[in-house]
Structure 1
Amino acid sequence: MDRRCDTPGTVRRALITGGASGIGWACVRQFARAGVQVVLADLDGGRASERAATCGATAVALDVTQFDRVQEVVRAHGPFDILVNAAGADQHAFFTQTAPPQWRDLLAVNLEGVLNTTHAVLPGMQSARHGRIVNIASEAGRLGSRGGAVYAAAKGGVIAFTRSIARENGHHGITANVVAPGPIDTPMVQRGVASKGEKLLHAMTGATLLGRLGTPDEVAAAVVFLASDAAAFITGEALGVSGGMGCGA
């Protein structure tokens, strides 16, 4: 498949949040290879700069929970043809062991951050009558998560929000889709395994039909596809990249 994200001769511009690590960083690399001008946004501005320098991207320090800062970044670096929301956070604990401050933090990053960036980029996409929004949710948002109830609630919200944005903006030529990863070998998962032990790793791999963790590049490939012309008639969908998680044995 042609890995370019649009017709030959055009240069597109993508904002990728959480772009300095994990799935976000894999997306940055793959979009850059496809000829897209990438703005790599991450809470860790120093690491974002280091990463961006290796692939010709533009780095910005960005806390997606800060509405005004998100608007400022989009004004300075946009308009954008592509938005990929890969910024995320998780805390593994049973719900009764958590408290409202933790809930607010998780909802702010995983859900409110998606609202903030989408609100900022949509006017430019609507004016151009073209745009691709791909939000990274999770299979937890469809299946629930033992030890991750608030995270799952946030990701379920991302799925519903994305489908709503698809409905509101199809007539503008904008598509909005979700990629829902299962257990992926990211720094966030690695931290969880380090904290909870190999039992957690076995539980995650055992929940897939393929019996392994996925890779960030496997998720990024789905994101690049949904942002490409090959996916121009796909919108409002949630694509699982999870090794068959949730399909049953």
Structure 2
Amino acid sequence: MCAAHTSVGPPPAPSLPLMSASTTPGPAAGAAPALSGRTALVTGAAGGIGRACTLRLAAAGATVLASDQDAEGLAALAARAEKEPGLPGRVEPRVLDLTDLDAAERAAAGIDILVNNAGLQLVRPIEEFPPEVFSRVLTVMLEAPFRLVRGALPHMYAQGWGRIVNISSVHGLRASAYKAAYVTAKHGLEGLSKVVALEGAAHGVTSNCVNPAYVRTPLVERQIADQAAAHGISPERVVSEIMLADSAVKRLIEPEEVAEAVAYLCGPDASFITGASLAMDGGWTAH
């Protein structure tokens, strides 16, 4: 879902100032951070939404196991976290290849919060879509979340508390052409999340999806180029005529906005929210 590339597309519509993870207010004086003492695992943490979620959960007091294949990106994230003044939690980088499903399951043992965020995308017509890429997308974005949940639940059940947040997409609720693997994986993730919600409710475990439209991340920036090639149009037209065509709010979402929703779902005030899909789509699904 996407990186800062402000030269593409129309300027954002006027909006309230966004708070970055570094400016997110902490708890009131004398109050413990909402997630103090909790351990979270965030996948795809080296950039984009995962990076924002990692910093936001650490700001809420959690110890965050930041997982990604990108060792350099994780090192930069950890360095950023160390420079945050008075960050209540901490960030521990963990290099993890989610195609190693056994390793993924082991990595989730003993955690209190799981944020399934890692993803990849390829935009191609079905008849041109490489089967091996389809398989890899489903492995990383559907099988790995299942194995991570499977590894996390025993500890969550034992303590009677757990939070699972799956970074889905508007494409978990709607389909788009040329995204067979991504749409399939996100629809599957929606179903998995609801099953976990039903099974986990009696054990104090909630499971929800967050469904953003296009977020300003590296993944979305690559999609712009792919869509331009697939449709034979300019990147600017991809943003205005394809990506934002169904959105009432004509701008990309910032990663920090998604991280705020994730932090809320992990906190004490969201204990009755489970099995839900929180649309952050600028009105896309209101049509």
State the TM-score, normalizing by the size of structure 1. Answer: 0.92
SS at match of 2:199: helix
Q: CA deviation at 1:3?
A: 5.9
CA distance in 1, matches of 2:171, 2:26: 29
Deviations 1:170-211 (A, max 9, x none): 000000000011111111111122342222211212221111
Partner amino acid for 1:157?
Answer: G
- The residue correspondences of 1:1-249 to structure 2 (distance < 5 A) are 8=32, 10-55=36-81, 56-75=90-109, 79-195=110-226, 196=228, 197-202=235-240, 203-248=242-287
Tell me the distance in 1 between the aligned counterparts of 2:263 and 2:62. 10
Q: Say which SS state the counterpart of residue 46 (structure 2) adopts.
A: coil
Q: How far apart in 2 are the matches of 1:98 and 1:3?
A: 46
Following TM superposition, by how much is the alpha carbon of 1:2 offset from its aligned partner in structure 2, in angstroms?
8.2
Amino acid at match of 2:92: T
7-16 vs 178-187, which moves further: 7-16
Separation in structure 2 between the aligned mates of residue 3 and residue 65 of structure 1, nearest angstrom: 36
Aligned residues: 243
Taking the aligned partners of 1:22 and 1:128, their CA distance within structure 2 comes to 31
2:70 is matched by which residue type in structure 1?
A: D
Could you list the per-position Cα deviations for residues 207-248 of structure 1 after superposition, in whole angstroms to 9, with x for gaps in the alignment? 211111111111111111111111011000000111111212
Q: Give per-residue Cα distances to partners, 1:77-133, cap 9 Å, x unaligned.
A: xx2111001100110111121132121011111111111211111111011110000
Distance across 1 between alignment mates of 2:73 and 2:214? 24
Q: 8 Å contact 1:65–1:116 — kept in the other structure?
A: no
CA deviation map 1:38-72 (0-9, x unaligned): 11000112211221232140001111221221233
List runs of 5+ in structure 2 lacking aligned partners.
1-23, 82-89, 229-234
Amino acid at match of 2:167: I
* Amino acid across the alignment from 1:8: A
The residue identity in structure 1 corresponding to 2:96 is: L
The structure whose Rg is larger is: 2
CA distance in 1, matches of 2:169, 2:47: 17
Measured in 1, the distance between the counterparts of 2:133 and 2:146 equals 19
Return the alpha-carbon distance in structure 1 between the equivalents of residues 51 and 68 of structure 2: 10
Bigger drift between 7-16 and 56-65 goes to: 7-16
Structural RMSD (CA): 1.7
For the 8 Å contact 1:139–1:242, the answer to whether it is kept is yes
Aligned residue type for 1:93 = R
Q: How far apart are 1:8 and its partner, in Å?
A: 2.9
Tell whether the 8 Å contact from 1:64 to 1:117 is kept in structure 2 after alignment: no
- Quick check: 1:84–1:134 contact (8 Å CA) kept in 2? yes
| Amino acid corresponding to residue 200 of structure 2 in structure 1 | N
* Structure 1 residue runs without a partner (length 5+): none
- Percent identity between the aligned chains? 35
Q: Distance in 2 between matches of 1:170 and 1:210?
A: 35
Letter in 2 for 1:15: L
- Cα distance in 1, alignment partners of residues 285 and 125 from structure 2: 21
* C-alpha distance 123-3 of structure 1, shift in aligned 2 (>3 A): farther
Q: Secondary structure at the match of 1:102?
A: helix
* Per-residue CA distance 1:140-170 (angstroms, 9 max, x = gap): 1211121112210110000010000000110
Cα distance in 2 between the residues matched to 1:161 and 1:228? 21
